[in-house]
Amino acid sequence: MSSKVYKTAAEALEGLTFDGMVVMAGGFGLCGIPENLIAALRDSGAQSITAISNNAGVDGFGLGLLLETRQIKKMVSSYVGENKEFERQFLAGELDLEFNPQGTLAERIRAGGAGIPGFYTKTGVGTVIADGKPTMDFDGEEYIMETGLKADVALVKAWRGDTQGNLQFKKTARNFNPMMATAGKVTVVEVDELVEVGSFDPNYIHTPGIYVQRIIEAKCEKRIEQLTVRERVS
Partner 1 sequence: MSWSRDDMAKRAAQELKDGFYVNLGIGIPTLVANHIPDGVDVTLQSENGMLGMGPFPYADEVDADLINAGKQTITELRRSSYFNSADSFAMIRGGHIDISILGAMEISQGGDIANWMIPGKMVKGMGGAMDLVAGVKRCVAVMDHTNRAGASKFLPECTLPLTGRNCIDMVITDLGVFSRGEGETRFRVTELAPGVEMDEVKAKTEADLVWG
Q: Which residues bind partner 1 (CB under 8 A)?
A: 28-32, 54, 77-82, 87, 90-91, 97, 99, 101-107, 109-110, 121-129, 159, 169-179, 222-232
Q: How far apart are the first and last CA of the chain?
A: 59
> To the nearest whole angstrom, how small is the minimum distance from the Cβ of residue 202 to partner 1?
19
Distance, CA of 174 to CA of 45 (rounded, Å): 28
Burial of 201 (0-12, 13-18, 19+ CB in 10 A): exposed
SS3 214: strand
Task: Return the number of the residue (103 or 134) whose C-beta is nearest partner 1.
Answer: 103
> To the nearest whole angstrom, how small is the minimum distance from the Cβ of residue 187 to partner 1?
15
> To the nearest whole angstrom, how small is the minimum distance from the Cβ of residue 91 to partner 1?
7
> To the nearest whole angstrom, how small is the minimum distance from the Cβ of residue 69 to partner 1?
22
Task: Return the number of the residue (15 or 117) whose C-beta is nearest partner 1.
Answer: 117
Distance, CA of 6 to CA of 27 (rounded, Å): 22
Task: Return the number of the residue (1 or 227) whose C-beta is nearest partner 1.
Answer: 227
Distance, CA of 140 to CA of 39 (rounded, Å): 49
Closest CA to 75 of 61, 60, 94: 94
Task: Return the number of the residue (8 or 127) whose C-beta is nearest partner 1.
Answer: 127
Task: Return the number of the residue (73 or 170) whose C-beta is nearest partner 1.
Answer: 170
> To the nearest whole angstrom, how small is the minimum distance from the Cβ of residue 17 to partner 1?
25
Calculate the alpha carbon distances from 94 to 39, 55, 82, 85, 89 in Å.
Answer: 22, 18, 18, 11, 5
